[in-house]
Copies of this chain bind each other. A is one copy, B any other.
């Protein structure tokens, strides 16, 4: 129904054997992934935009993050045949279905350190 991954990444496959929450972590865990989704929930972004908003991510890492999210059916990559090159990243239906989840995790992470000293 929603957008579906063509091939399944290893970590995701293995997670399915364990528990649904492990599937979520296999897809969304790892640095920069949820931050990227969070920005894409806001609006479509270009590669450089994402890089600047994320702050300290390297191009290589951001590329892999976006490729993973694309493989997992979260992100769609659109290339425009222009000069200079323009590539836009947006969310699939499945990606947009993360709206609530991202909201909760953002709120929980935001409240987290306040309980510490």
Contacts and interface: CB of A to CB of B under 8 A. Distances in A.
Interface of A: 1-5, 8, 15-16, 18-25, 27-35, 38, 54-56, 73, 94, 97-98, 100-102, 104-110, 112-113, 115-117
Copies of this chain held together in the complex? 2
Contacts of A56: 18
A105 B109 contact: no
A54 B18 contact: yes
A79 B30 CA distance: 33
Given A3-B115, A8-B116, A115-B73, A106 B16 contact: no
Contact of A115 (B2, B29, B31, B105): B2
B34 A107 contact: no
A105 B22 CA distance: 9
A35 B23 contact: no
A23 B31 CA distance: 10
19 contacts: A1-B115, A8-B116, A20-B105, A20-B108, A20-B109, A21-B34, A21-B38, A23-B109, A23-B110, A23-B113, A24-B106, A24-B108, A25-B30, A25-B31, A25-B34, A25-B105, A25-B109, A101-B101, A104-B104
